[in-house]
Amino acid sequence: MTMLATDRPAAVSTAERSRRRTLTRSGLITAAFVAPALVLRVAGLHPDPVLALIIFGAAVVSASFLLAWAAEAAQIDVSGGMATAVLALIAVLPEYAVDLYYAYVSGHNADYTQYAAANMTGSNRLLMGLGWPVVVLVSIVVARKAGDAKATGLALQPTNRVELGFLLIAGVIAFAIPASGQIHFGLGLALLAWFGFYLYKVSHGDVEEPDLIGTAAALGELPDRGRRIVVVGLFLASGAVILLCAKPFADNLVAAGTELGIDRFLLVQWLAPLASEAPEFIVATIFATRGKGTAAIATLISSKVNQWTLLIGSLPLAHLLGGGGFSLQLDQRQVEEVLLTATQTMMGVALLLALRFHRAAAGTLLGLFVVQFPIASTHGRLLLCGAYTAVAVVALTRNRRHLAATVRAPFFGTAIRHSGHPHHQVPDP
């Protein structure tokens, strides 16, 4: 008994030291990447566009990590619909700040319309074409290493049908964009209303304990008062960094494309979303490596809903506030990119209607995502749209008995929201 009494404080002390090391290490690393960008902003310095892009991009990525950790840890204390809504809006700030800046500037500079469309379509296709398949494939590898030699996919939970239903309906509505050649203010309001209903649905869903890892878990194990102070501080600090760095990052992204001779549309379409979504991808992949693939893919499906509702719905509003009209007019290239994104979404949803994400489905999504990069013509993009549509039709035919349930799910299904203290300990780094 004496040994047990002696060992307990030692174990607590070890856990405390581990937590402090994790928080200190994370804080120092992010500060090292944020500091140069803040110095440039405060001093008003304007280095070479490529160097500035690297500096401000690193700051945006670092701030995104801070925001992700804070948002995950805040789930412990969040309760009620309004708190959930505020938390959701804060969490998507880094991903949307750059795109909304482009949309705002397009209100008085039409050249920036293409960049708003590029960022929006890039972030959407990157999430589904790369994020979803990687999580599934990693989950299969982990399951096989754990002894399940027959693992060929990832099973989703019945509650995930709610998110799929929201995504399905939002994706269908979004076809109005390529059909009309514009993102109208009225459509934006409809998508924002759909997002609001999604938040309401999630905030009134069944409560599930949050599953935290790494730095977020270390934050979650802090005493209640200290955790709340730190989380609020992280929200404020990361938000300030993102607001300070979004404009120079976006402007230097365009300038760097000119200097390097790279298509600026493509640079904005892929580099900006990759930077802002990196923390989310990394966290989801870590969950998958720890055998929590279902939770990881559920998070990415939810993010996809946010993109098709909150992001697209906000673009015409930002355009209007920037001095533009009630619609964001798209040219032929932008219409084709939105059509590609919409057909990819329909394919992804159709493949998951049975709540089973097979290896073949993941491979198809990833393969078609990779194939798009050499395509530089209207004919090629339309052929790829046809490929997405063909796969969607086949999957929809096979899973047709689940379609009605998926359409009903947003209205009658039960979602999951995370709240309360996590039930696990902080893992040693």
Report pLDDT digits (tens) over 305-324. 988 999 999 999 999 999 99
The more confident residue out of 384 and 88 is 384
Q: 206 pairs with which residues across the strands?
A: 416
pLDDT at 425: 40
In one-letter notation, the amino acid at residue 254 is V
Mean pLDDT, the chain, whole residue set: 85
Contact of 92 with 310, CB cutoff 8 Å: yes
pLDDT at 9: 56
pLDDT at 209: 66
Task: With CA atoms as reference, report the closest residue to 307 among 144, 166, 412, 152.
Answer: 166
The more confident residue out of 427 and 296 is 296
* Rounded Cα distance, 187 and 217, in Å: 39
Has this prediction a pTM greater than 0.75?
yes
Residue 208 has pLDDT above 70, yes or no: no
In one-letter notation, the amino acid at residue 362 is A
Provide the 3-class DSSP secondary structure of residue 48: coil
* Each residue's pLDDT tens digit, 36-62: 999 999 888 889 999 999 999 999 889
* Each residue's pLDDT tens digit, 121-141: 998 999 999 999 999 999 999
The more confident residue out of 41 and 17 is 41
pLDDT at 428: 35
Beta strands in 353-418 (DSSP E): 356-358, 416-418
Q: What is the percent of the chain with per-residue pLDDT over 70, rounded to a whole number?
A: 88
What is the DSSP pairing of strand 153-155 with strand 327-329?
unpaired
The structural domains of the chain, with segments of one domain joined by +, span 8-411
Q: In sequence order, which residues have a C-beta less than 8 Å from that of residue 246 and are 6 or more positions away?
A: 60, 97, 98, 101
The pLDDT of 250-272, averaged and rounded, is 88
Q: How confident is the model at residue 360 (pLDDT cuts 50, 70, 90)?
A: very high
CA distances for 236 relative to 34, 63, 115, 187, 248, angstroms: 14, 10, 28, 32, 20
Beta strands in 242-398 (DSSP E): 327-329, 356-358
In one-letter notation, the amino acid at residue 98 is V
Structure tokens at 86: 């505020």
CATH topology of domain 8-411: A middle domain of Talin 1 (1.20.1420)
